[in-house]
Structure formats: C-alpha cells, structure tokens
Amino acid sequence: MNNQPNQPQQLRLNKFLAERLGLSRREADEAIAAGKVLVDDKPAVLGARIDKTSKVCYNKKIVPFDTEFLYIAMNKPVGYVCSRRAQGNAPTLYDLLPKDYQKLKTVGRLDKDSSGLILLTNDGDFAFQMTHPKFHKEKIYEVELNKPLEPLHQQMISDFGVMLDDGPSKFTVIHENDKYTVILSEGRNRQIRRTFAALGYAVKTLHRTQFGKYQLTDLQSGKYVIIKP
C-alpha cells in the first residue's frame, strides 16, 4: 500500500507558492515554467508535489513551508494608494501598518480617491477566492454623485449595463437619502467611476462598506483589525 502513516503530507507546488507568496495559481505556474522556482536545488516542473522536507526557492530565496497566515481588514482613508510605493505626493496605506504587516498584499484595490474596506493577507488562495469573478463575491459601496441620477440611467445600469472600453458594466444601484448604494461582484479598474462618467456623472465620494461576508461596521478611518477567513 502507498498510504504510509509516517509519510509527510504532500502539497501541489503551485498551491504552496500561491499560499506563501500571495500569487494566483496561474501566476505560480508561470513562475515554475519560467524557471524561477527550484525544488531541492533543481528546476521545478509543472504539476510537482512537495512536502515539509522539500527545499523550495523562489527567485533564489527560500520559501518556508510553515507559514502563519494573517488576514486583516482596514478602513482605507481617501488619499492613500494601495501599492507599496507612494505615487507622487500620495502616501501608501502601508504607512498605516506596523512593520510586521507591511509584507501583506491587498485583496483587490481601492483607488486613491476612494475609501473604505480593504482586505490584506499573505494567503494567496484566500485572495484568489475573494477576487476571481467565478466566486461572485459581492462588494457594496456608498456613492455620492455630483447631481441626481436620472431614473432612466439608474435602470440602464442595473438592468442592461453600460458599454465601456473593456466591455459592458452592470451593477445594482439603490437610491437612498441623496446617496446611492452600489452592489457589484466584478472588480474592474475604476469600474463604478467610469460607468457613471459614461452617462455624464462625476463620483464625488466612493466608500466601500462590504466585501463578501466582511463588513466595515464601526472601524475608524485609517484603522485595521485582524479577521478570520
């Protein structure tokens, strides 16, 4: 029999790299195919499996087998970018985190002019499941426009969609107390702003309050909390 009780548990190499490095599995496979990954000092092959006795290196750096995953939720303030490097005079949200948390990667992004819930983690599988379109994770935003949204335009966005350069954009728009709640499951770059702009509106404020099962609740701007996956 092949199932020996003392045999180390094996793990697919691409899954291991995704979890440890915050990559998607496709990106992990691309890294393997490009020769960036070594297993026991030999070039890795696609479909390989490893265990805790394996020595895995990525770009000449050892990737530890045992890693403690961390998940945090932050209320990103307006004016901060989601990259590790500042852009011009705009600071990065990593400036708001302690040094130990600055290696975490954002799960999706919010643009500089938007605020609200942003998730960060070192678990690539979690990031993949939260962001890939096939998992349909709903995101909810509070939006303020420069002028009232015409009912016809509201119906157009919610029922038919608006054609953008990268394809049709469709999401639910709910009107409440001079503000609009937007519910969507896509994650295209500046999608909400571009959709309203295509109909002649400017977004004054964009604030994300929910991402999947995670909600912002009463978390203060610029603060973060540790969450469970």
Closest to 34 measured CA to CA, from 42, 24, 44, 19? 44
Closest to 125 measured CA to CA, from 71, 84, 72? 71
Amino acid of residue 4: Q
CB count in 10 Å sphere of residue 56:
20
The CA R_g of the chain, rounded to the nearest whole Å, is 21
Q: Where are the beta strands (DSSP E) in the chain?
A: 11-12, 37-39, 42-43, 49-50, 56-58, 61-62, 71-76, 105-107, 115-121, 139-145, 162-164, 167-169, 172-176, 179-184, 203-211, 214-215, 224-226
Which of 29, 66, 95, 111 is catalytic? The answer is 111
Rounded Cα–Cα distance for residues 134 and 187 (Å): 12
Indicate if the alpha-carbon torsion angle 88, 186, 72, 65 is positive or negative: negative
Q: Are 197 and 189 in contact (CB under 8 A)?
A: no
**Catalytic annotation present for 111:** yes
Which sequence positions are flagged as catalytic? Answer: 111
